[in-house]
């Protein structure tokens, strides 16, 4: 465990600051905070101290600087699967793919979700929000500038043709989906343990699956590089990935798009 993260876990002042941050974001003053007894009896049981602190933006920092907060989530703990999971981790260059070892979530008592990996967002909804360095935010164009070419692409889509050709949907919407992705995570489910290929899920800011695909753990480092360079659409793991149900034609976020 990194020294920076270890000190974070045992810092009571950090927890107090989290309480103040929540109150201030809700427009409350320090005096409107609930009594400590209510924090301990109502809020504390909802997640462990480690989960609460890992979900905090403060935990998205490594000793080398900014950390994207990409999670490795094991959801299957069937008998005899520990060795298969260890082999997957041995193939993952986690210090490049994840940056922090603490982002490997491996605890049957907390994360035995099976196929319902979305439950992680019930425990750590903060993971739906992208954390950006101030310098990155300053370099980014305004939303309307970024959205202009995307809107143009939406207008050009031939919806009738897309409905009849799933492969065409993947290629016609790759840039649109790239813009919709908030972050991604690795899921180690039963299929991953059986096949040696982890599930990588690209999700939006509501936790909906934009795209998902299977990949060898060794490619986690390459994916992290593409993410940092805003070029995941150039990787087959994204461009050829299965489209999430909400982003398929006639899905809540899929074509036809309003113009």
Task: Give the tens place of pLDDT for each residue, 149-187.
Answer: 666 666 666 666 666 666 777 888 898 899 889 899 999
How many other C-beta atoms can be found within 10 angstroms of the C-beta atom of residue 184?
A: 22
3-state helix, strand, coil in the chain (%, to 5): 55, 10, 30
d(CA 160, CA 72): 38
Confidence of residue 132 (pLDDT cuts 50, 70, 90): very low
How many other C-beta atoms can be found within 10 angstroms of the C-beta atom of residue 140?
A: 12
Distances (CA, A) of 40 to 36, 48, 57, 124, 204: 6, 11, 21, 18, 32
* pLDDT attached to residue 127: 74
DSSP secondary structure code for residue 64 in this structure: T
Contact 233, 140 (CB under 8 A): no
226-229 contact pairs (CB < 8 A, 24+): 227/68, 227/70, 227/184, 228/68
Is the pLDDT at 94 greater than 80? The verdict is yes
* pLDDT attached to residue 35: 77
**Which of 53-57, 83-87, 95-99 is predicted most confidently?**
83-87
β-strand partners of 74: 188
Torsions phi, psi of 82, nearest 5?
-60, -40
Domain ranges of the chain: 67-247
Which position has the higher pLDDT, 53 or 32? 53
Q: Which of 221, 218, 219, 215 is nearest to 240 (CA)?
A: 215
Question: 132 is written with which tokens?
Answer: 């950006």
Positive/negative CA dihedral, 137, 139, 143, 147: negative
């Amino acid at each position: 465990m990194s020294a920076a993260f270890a000190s974070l876990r045992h810092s009571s002042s950090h927890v107090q600051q989290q309480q103040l941050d929540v109150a201030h974001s809700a427009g409350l003053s320090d005096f409107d905070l609930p009594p400590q007894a209510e924090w301990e009896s109502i809020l504390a049981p909802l997640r462990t101290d480690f989960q609460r602190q890992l979900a905090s933006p403060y935990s998205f920092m490594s000793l080398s600087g900014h950390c994207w907060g990409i999670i490795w989530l094991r959801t299957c703990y069937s008998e005899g699967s520990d060795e298969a999971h260890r082999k997957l981790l041995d193939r993952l260059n986690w210090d490049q793919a994840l940056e922090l070892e603490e982002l490997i979530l491996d605890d049957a008592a907390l994360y035995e979700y099976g196929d319902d990996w979305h439950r992680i967002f019930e425990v750590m909804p903060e993971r739906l929000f992208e954390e950006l360095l101030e310098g990155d935010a300053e370099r980014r164009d305004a939303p309307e500038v970024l959205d202009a070419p995307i809107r143009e692409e939406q207008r050009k889509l031939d919806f009738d043709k897309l409905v009849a050709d799933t492969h065409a949907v993947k290629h016609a919407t790759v840039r649109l989906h790239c813009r919709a992705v908030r972050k991604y995570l690795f899921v180690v489910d039963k299929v991953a343990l059986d096949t040696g290929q982890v599930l990588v899920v690209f999700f939006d800011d509501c936790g909906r699956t934009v795209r998902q695909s299977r990949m060898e753990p060794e490619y986690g480092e390459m994916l992290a590089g593409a993410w940092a360079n805003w070029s995941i659409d150039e990787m087959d793991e994204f461009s050829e990935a299965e489209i999430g149900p909400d982003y398929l034609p006639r899905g809540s976020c899929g074509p036809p798009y309003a113009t």
